[in-house]
Structure 1
Amino acid sequence: MAWRQMLFNSRAILGPNLATGSARFSTKSNPYLVKVGIPEFLNGIGNGVESHVAKLEAEIGDFQKLLVTRTLKLKKLGVPCKHRKLILKYTHKYRLGLWRPLAQAIKS
């Protein structure tokens, strides 16, 4: 009963969208200012995955294609299991907007 009253009172004060949080939440990720390609993505993952940059750029070519690549394709390209797992884990996080490679600081 108390929770219901607090929720009702917060809706009256803040408005219907702000009380439920729907105005702040969006399922679409914001576009990033830093252009992300295959080399930046794999360097952001680290753990030795960056050693496959040349191979993946030659065979896959586009970063958007890498985001939808499956494990069997990576296996056929000769990427070891540990690295395949990391690539697939971080591509999933990137698609959801939960992770992105850090922008490299410009050295002056």
Structure 2
Amino acid sequence: MALRQMLFNTRSMFSTPGLARFSTKSNPYLVKVGIPEFLNGIGNGVESHVTKLESEIRDFQKLLVIRTLRLKKLGVPCKHRKLILKHTHKYRLGLWRPRAQPVKP
């Protein structure tokens, strides 16, 4: 009985060619993400650098490819640099995104 179920499931899985079961594409973002929304989504005090980064970088796409030395020159502390770089990497991969509504404690 179990062998028959396995064979049936195998046939049904391959019977629809061209349809993938899993997708590697990330879901589209429902809210427009800018530098303030991104840094507020990270939290942990990183949002204190919003004005500094907005005035120097001016573009969210540039923030996604920024290097640690540039952040260091802007005066961002090491702990916050690590958080920004970690979350930009996750955002580029589609594994993380800031919440649409901030979480209230």
TM-score range normalised by the length of the shorter chain:
0.7 to 0.9
SS at match of 2:70: helix
Pick from 19, 37, 40 the counterpart of residue 40 of structure 1: 37
* 2:101 is the alignment partner of 1:104: yes
Distance in 2 (alpha carbons) for counterparts of 1:33 and 1:26: 19
User: AA paired with 2:29?
Assistant: Y
- Superposition CA RMSD, Å: 2.4
Following TM superposition, by how much is the alpha carbon of 1:10 offset from its aligned partner in structure 2, in angstroms?
A: 3.0
Q: Residue deviations 1:3-42, cap 9 Å, x none?
A: xxx4x65331222679xxx813333322211100000000
Is 1:66 equivalent to 2:63 in the alignment?
Answer: yes
Matched, 1:15 2:9: no
Query: TM-score, normalised to structure 2's length?
Result: 0.81
Q: Aligned with 2:38: secondary structure?
A: helix
Are residues 40 and 17 of structure 1, via their aligned partners in 2, closer, same or farther at CA, if it must alter by over 3 Å?
A: farther
Does structure 1 residue 89 correspond to structure 2 residue 86? yes
Unaligned runs of 5+ in 2: 1-5
Percentage identity across paired residues of the two chains: 79
Instruction: Give the AA of the match of 2:13.
Output: L
Say how many residue pairs are matched. 99
| 1:82-103 residue CA offsets vs partner (Å, 9 max, x unmatched) | 0000000001111111111111
Question: Which secondary structure state, in structure 2, belongs to the residue aligned with residue 93 of structure 1?
Answer: helix
Q: 1:24 to 1:74 in 2, by over 3 A?
A: farther
Q: 1:15 to 1:92 in 2, by over 3 A?
A: same
Structure 1 Cα separation of the partners of residues 40 and 49 of structure 2: 10
Aligned to 1:55: 52
Counterparts of 1:43 and 1:59, CA distance in 2:
18
TM-score normalised by the chain length of structure 1: 0.79
